[in-house]
């Protein structure tokens, strides 16, 4: 059986879909499926994988890219039973007007909200955005994301919270299925020795407005004023890179904070292994892979209580909750206090890490969760 997977980001890109798609493609291939991945890419790469990857150059005229993407999906879909849409939804649905394949859609967020936040024309929190009215440009985007979702034969979300949001877009409840993201539990047994003299902190993801990286940097400024020994690694790339670098320099934190840029999964693993605390200050996440990966490598989690994160974290038991102000941004002062608390009370940090590992084994074991995907494609 043949499955075509569409996605907007793919290794060496980082992010949830770029982490998930190679794994599900491998699982399907190992179980006898023929898999083709159609993705956007910054460059042509000769992929040596056990499935086919077709890369479309990201940085080109949008109309030309759109036409090329639709054509590529059509050309590679012959013989496929399913199109598994992890990105490029509009291109996939336009192509399917000709193909008439079964569409399985994975939705991990709201691209209409992300677009509005990225270009600075909305300031709504994720949940506010679902309820409020906006200008014509945003309302068209909201209609488009809802319309494409309703055209799927099945919609998979990584959290109960997001499933309810997608249902509010007009998707029938019978078409919705929650399959949690997972992580490879086998890595948990790997011995991890961390530097005990300096506390290393890490945050991973796109440098986008709703990630609130500026708040994390401000908290580091407070740590420095308190004469704490620490280093923060900001792993990822995005439009705010220059702005955040400038903020680091203005606060004289260049010896305490490193913006690493984009890193592949192997490089990221080393950052996890050498870090003690993971910080997520986002205003929204679906159900972030990075939290699960950080738990896997024995990091204490400090996270905002947004989206699917609430289905991972229990405050004080397996992590610490960083509350949002007006549902949008956390306080740098409160983040600073949580970090100091974590550093000064190592026994409490260790207890939360043990509880987090137990949660992973029982709820977010990747091998178990992928079995749910195999059932979908039968």
For the stretch 288-333, pLDDT in tens is 888 888 888 889 999 999 888 888 888 888 889 999 987 789 999 9
Q: With H, G, I as helix, E, B as strand and everything else as coil, classify residue 262.
A: coil
308 contacts 178 by C-beta, under 8 angstroms: no
pLDDT for residue 360 is more than 90? no
The predicted pLDDT at position 201 comes to 97
pLDDT for residue 15 is more than 90? no
For residue 200, give the DSSP letter: E
**CA distance linking residue 329 with residue 219, whole number of Å:** 13
In the chain, where the domains are located = 2-183+366-376, 185-363
Q: Which fold has domain 2-183+366-376?
A: Rossmann fold (3.40.50)
The predicted pLDDT at position 187 comes to 52
Asked, colleague to colleague, whether 2-183+366-376 and 185-363 share their fold, the answer is: yes
The whole-model pTM stands at 0.84
**CA distance linking residue 44 with residue 141, whole number of Å:** 30
| CATH homologous superfamily for the domain 185-363 | Glycogen Phosphorylase B; (3.40.50.2000)
Q: With H, G, I as helix, E, B as strand and everything else as coil, classify residue 222.
A: helix
Average pLDDT score over residue span 205-213: 92
**CA distance linking residue 209 with residue 47, whole number of Å:** 32
Cα 190 from chain centroid (whole Å):
24
103-142 pLDDT tens trace:
999 999 999 998 898 888 888 988 899 999 999 999 999 9
Stronger pLDDT, 350 or 79, i.e. the higher one: 79
Report the mean per-residue pLDDT for the chain.
91
Average pLDDT score over residue span 4-30: 91
The predicted pLDDT at position 304 comes to 94
Average pLDDT score over residue span 1-18: 90
Average pLDDT score over residue span 221-231: 95
**CA distance linking residue 73 with residue 247, whole number of Å:** 42
Angle between the N-to-C axes of helices 366-376 and 16-30, in degrees from 0 to 180, rounded to the nearest 10: 70
The predicted pLDDT at position 195 comes to 65
152-203 pLDDT tens trace:
999 999 999 999 999 999 999 999 999 998 888 755 455 556 667 799 999 9
Other C-beta atoms lying within 10 Å of the C-beta of residue 189 = 7
Edge to edge, what strands does the sheet with 176-178 contain? 52-57, 34-41, 2-7, 80-85, 102-106, 154-157, 176-178
């Amino acid at each position: 059986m043949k499955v075509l997977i569409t996605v907007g980001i793919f290794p060496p890109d980082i992010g949830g879909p770029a982490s998930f798609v190679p794994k599900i493609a491998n699982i399907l291939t190992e179980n006898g499926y023929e898999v083709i991945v159609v993705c956007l890419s910054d460059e042509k790469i000769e992929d040596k994988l056990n499935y086919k990857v077709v890369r479309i150059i990201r940085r080109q005229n949008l109309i030309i890219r759109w036409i090329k993407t639709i054509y590529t999906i059509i050309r590679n879909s012959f013989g496929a039973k399913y199109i598994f849409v992890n990105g490029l939804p509009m291109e996939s649905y336009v192509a399917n007007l000709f193909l008439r394949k079964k569409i399985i859609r994975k939705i991990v967020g709201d691209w209409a909200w992300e677009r509005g936040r990225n270009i600075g024309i909305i300031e709504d929190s994720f949940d506010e955005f679902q309820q409020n009215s906006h200008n014509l440009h945003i309302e068209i985007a909201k209609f488009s994301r809802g319309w494409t979702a309703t055209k799927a034969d099945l919609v998979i979300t990584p959290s109960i919270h997001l499933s309810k949001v997608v249902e509010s877009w007009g998707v029938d409840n019978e078409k919705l299925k929650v399959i949690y993201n997972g992580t490879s539990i086998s890595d948990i047994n790997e011995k991890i020795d961390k530097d005990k003299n300096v506390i290393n902190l890490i945050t991973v993801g796109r440098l986008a407005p709703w990630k609130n990286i500026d708040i994390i940097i401000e908290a580091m400024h407070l740590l420095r004023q308190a004469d704490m020994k620490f280093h923060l690694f900001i792993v990822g790339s995005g439009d705010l890179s220059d702005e955040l670098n400038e903020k680091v320099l203005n606060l004289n934190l260049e010896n305490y904070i490193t913006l690493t840029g984009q890193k592949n999964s192997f490089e990221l693993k080393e950052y996890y292994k050498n870090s003690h605390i993971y910080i997520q200050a986002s205003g929204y996440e679906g159900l972030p892979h990075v939290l699960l990966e950080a738990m896997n490598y024995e990091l204490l989690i400090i996270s905002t209580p947004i989206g699917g994160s609430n289905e991972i974290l229990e405050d004080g038991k397996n992590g610490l909750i960083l509350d949002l102000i007006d549902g949008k941004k956390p306080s740098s002062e409160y983040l600073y206090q949580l970090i100091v608390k974590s550093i000064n009370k190592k026994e409490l940090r260790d207890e939360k890490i043990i509880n987090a590992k137990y949660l992973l084994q029982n709820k977010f074991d990747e091998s178990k969760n992928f079995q749910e995907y195999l059932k979908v494609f039968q």
